[in-house]
Structure 1
Amino acid sequence: MKTLTIITGASKGLGFELTRQSLKAGDTVVTMERRPSKALVEEADKIGCNFIQFTADLLDRKGAVELLMWLLSDKEYAEHDRLILINNASVLGPVGPIENASPQVAVDCIRVNFEIPVLLTQAFLNETRSWKGERRVMNISSGAGRKS
């Protein structure tokens, strides 16, 4: 099965491992993260997979959405049997009482953890609406929201 997997926040942690596993499965993998990973490039080269890494600041909502739309405008990807978007990128903060956080820190947290995944999902579903492949969206969340 020919799979296109798009992952945000792939430079470390769970996103890094999800990317490694997708590469090992033979997927075409596209990542969007602040800091590209040389280790992932080396792994993709070793396996011989199609791997594209984009440096993206997810605080720039217009830029992130436009990047995804531009990527999906390549009709070569429309031939895939399965299309997966994994919204994994996140920021931790503000930690502690909200009254101690600056308004900008709170806005940045909401943008990266909520707004961007919603907007990327919307763009992904809209741009692939006519594609024949199965479409899936996965949103990754930490356990940080379980404790006050």
Structure 2
Amino acid sequence: MELAIVTGGSRGLGYETSRILLERGIRVIGISRSINATIDALIKGSNGHYVHVAANLADASDVSSAMQQVCARISSEKPEKVYVVNNAGTVEPIERLGYLDAPAIQQAIQLNMLAPMLINNRILQQLDGEKTELVIVNVTSGAAERAIHGWGVYCTTKAAIDMHTKTAGLEQEQAGLPHKVIAFSPGIMDTEMQETIRSTAAEAFADHSTFVGFKENGKLRPPATVAGTLVNLILNEPLVNGKVYDVNDFISL
């Protein structure tokens, strides 16, 4: 039996990744703040193979509680392979340094950077000494590699996730362990995150018109297309530890 843990699974890339994994016969634990209509349908149609864990990953205590539940399930079910897809994240706050709200900075850092690190650390602790193989996917962004006006918090947290991935991958290789830690950059998708970007005040974000154009010109990929690419990557490709994979290397718009 194989098991996947997907954060931010209630919509967009997280939901589509969960749905496709279920179709491939992999059980899924979805972690998100609440159950919506799409998740409810997924639960009811999964024959018990989809389990939802309610948690606000912007709260460190919620991360700890969620991982206790996840690790208890791993301990009882003893899967041969575990996939972790750290998808939950936020592009907010979008604003220039000097105009940012301090609590919003802290929340974004907790959700985008600390939560994945805490989750990965706890999973590796759980599997220490076990025969279970682990594949960790940290969802990153092209914003990790270039500065974007008004996106200082997002760029910084995603750059940190890339380095976390590279370091963790190096550690697994040097330890001679079968585990893989990679990052996946999904590109621009037609999601609520893009709606948030387009609704941002132009003065806070110099590239505002460019992102409006992505939507108007049909440049946003469907999340299902990107999720299919991600699932195919982790199930069928020989993964390189610490590598940052880009969706654009696999599909064109």
Q: TM-score normalised to the size of structure 2?
A: 0.54
Shift, 1:44, TM fit: 4.4
Q: Could you report, residue by residue, the CA deviation over 1:11-33 in whole angstroms, capped at 9, with x for unpaired residues?
A: 11100110111111111110111
CA distance in structure 1 between the aligned counterparts of 2:50 and 2:109, rounded to whole angstroms: 29
Pair 128,37 (structure 1): closer, same or farther in 2 beyond 3 Å: farther
**Which has the greater radius of gyration?**
2
Point out the structure with the larger strand share.
1
2:100: which partner in 1?
A: 101
Structure 1 residue 144, shift from structure 2 partner: 4.2
Tell me what 2:19 maps to.
20
Aligned in 2, Cα 1:60/1:129: closer, same or farther, shift over 3 Å? same
Which residue does 2:32 correspond to in 1?
33
Percent sequence identity over matched residues? 23
Q: How far does the alpha carbon of each residue in 1:45-92 deviate from its partner, in whole angstroms, 9 at most, with x for none?
A: 3353511111211121122123212321232232x1110111100011
Q: How do 1:1-148 residues align onto structure 2 when only pairs under 5 Å count?
A: 2-74=1-73, 75-78=75-78, 80-145=79-144, 146=146, 147-148=148-149
Note the residue ranges of structure 2 that are not aligned, 5 or more in a row: 150-253
Which segment drifts farther, 40-49 or 84-93? Answer: 40-49
C-alpha distance in 1, partners of 2:40/2:103?
Answer: 34
Q: Could you list the runs of 5+ residues in structure 1 that have no partner in the other structure?
A: none
**How far does residue 43 in structure 1 lie from its aligned partner after superposition?**
3.3
TM-score (norm 1): 0.88
Greater RCO, CA 8 A, separation 6+: 1
How many residues of Structure 1 are paired with residues of Structure 2 in the alignment? Answer: 146
Deviations 1:101-141 (A, max 9, x none): 11111111111000111011100110122331210110012
Q: In 1, distance between residues paired with 2:105 and 2:46?
A: 41
RMSD (CA atoms)? 1.7
